Amino acid sequence: MTFAETIARLEKKTRILLPKINPSLASRIFSSGRKYFLKLFYSDDINFKIEPPESLKKKLWDIEFRSGLFNAAGMFKNGEAYYLTYKQGAGAYLAGTTTSNERIGNIKNNILHPFVAYPNSGAASNWMGLPNLGNEKVAKVISQFEKFQGFPIGISLSLAPQIPFDLAMNDLIAGMEMFDKAGVDFIELNESCPNVPHSSSNKFPLLDSQMIDRLSFVSERFLKKRNRNLPVIVKFSCDTSLELLPELLRVIIDSHFDGVNFGNTSTDYDNSREIISLKDSKLFDYFTTIFGGGISGKPLKEKSLALSAFATDFVSKMNTKSEFHVIRTGGIFDENDIKISSSYNILLNQWFTGYFEAFSKFGHHLYDKIYKKIT
């Protein structure tokens, strides 16, 4: 067992104590402990290589994915753990979210990147604020990756917050061009980070009009000018209203995007609270009141399924001219979630909270465990 695996296992056992201590202290301990763990995790190496079973292979947008399960954005913001993820057997690799400039991320009450887990609920809250090294540095890291068959590389990009529209949009396009040159296979546009100003909400009854302006800018300045196969997917919040989906999907498809991802963390605290265990509710109330932030994990399971299933069905009836696919993110924990996704024709799934939950149980064999159960 590697050191990171041992730490993850121990952390899982002691995590249960978090809701029993003062919530401010719990948030502090978890946020800094996570940084220590990630350092170990990113530099971990393994002496085996999992090859997903042939039957899980998919070809989407003319790109081969050796399986339909891979990490969600935010796990490898600066291009960390690429070779490790490949050896673990992931179906693809997604770096980012990056922005045009380096960002330190959020700090409050002396906590840098506030993050806490709800151990009895399979959920977590984070208020990270998009810390990252910036497009240029991360594009350089990615440009040096060795490429592997069936293991596409994606980058999640976002508009830099608090910068005037034209400037920020020009920087975003410049970032997309940098990653194009760096050789990524697909781009995910993060339209939904709840932890910085500007993210779209798309809650009923109206589509966010500024978001539509942003998307049409990207369409004119990047999508229509692509000279190679480089799908661009838009990632929305799991709080997106189902009623708005037909209109939203039409806008996305008409603007020449190639897919959507449902989605990002939730700020619908009332709804999530119903799924949070009573044992975690004091910690949940503390974190969401003091930091706000986005909720991940089990409270998103039904939402991500409902949105992705609706979108898949809607798009299949639209007879789009080019390929358009839906990615499901939110509450993916095990083979059952993947099976349910595929029963609705959702072919790609990303995981974050469930990934680390599985890592604490199965270590670097986490993909293999799932593959064995779905084949």
Residues that bind ligand FMN (CB under 6 A): 72-74, 77, 97, 115, 124, 126, 128, 130, 156, 190, 193, 235, 264-265, 296-297, 300, 329-332, 351-354
- Minimum CB–partner distance for residue 369 and ligand FMN (Å): 16
Helix axes 135-143, 165-182, angle to 10 degrees: 10
Q: CB within 8 A of 170, min separation 6: which ones?
A: none
With beta carbons less than 8 A apart as the criterion, state whether 238 and 300 touch. Answer: yes
Q: Which is nearer to ligand FMN, 179 or 351 (CB)?
A: 351
Report the nearest approach of ligand FMN to the CB of residue 236 (Å). Answer: 10
Q: What is the spatial distance between Cα 350 and Cα 337, in angstroms, rounded to a whole number? A: 11
Q: How far is the CB of 114 from ligand FMN (least distance, A)?
A: 10
HSE toward the beta carbon, residue 250, CA cutoff 13 A: 5
Nearer to ligand FMN, 100 or 264 (CB): 264
With CA atoms as reference, report the closest residue to 71 among 263, 333, 335, 350.
Answer: 350
Closest approach, Cβ 319 to ligand FMN, in A, equals: 29
Report residue 257 as tokens.
Answer: 């995007």
Q: What is the Cα–Cα distance from 130 to 262, expressed in whole angstroms? A: 19
**Which is closer to ligand FMN, CB of 124 or CB of 244?**
124
- Count of other CB atoms within 10 angstroms of residue 133: 17
Tokens 């349910």 correspond to 340
Task: Pick the closer one to ligand FMN by CB: 219 or 353.
Answer: 353
Decide whether 117 or 207 has the Cβ nearer to ligand FMN: 117
Q: How far is the CB of 334 from ligand FMN (least distance, A)?
A: 12
Residue in the shown chain whose Cβ atom is closest to ligand FMN:
74
In whole angstroms, the minimum distance from the beta carbon of 372 to ligand FMN comes to 21
Quick one: 77 or 325, whose CB is closer to ligand FMN? 77
What lies within 8 Å, CB to CB, of 308 at 6+ separation is: 262, 326, 327, 328, 341, 344, 346
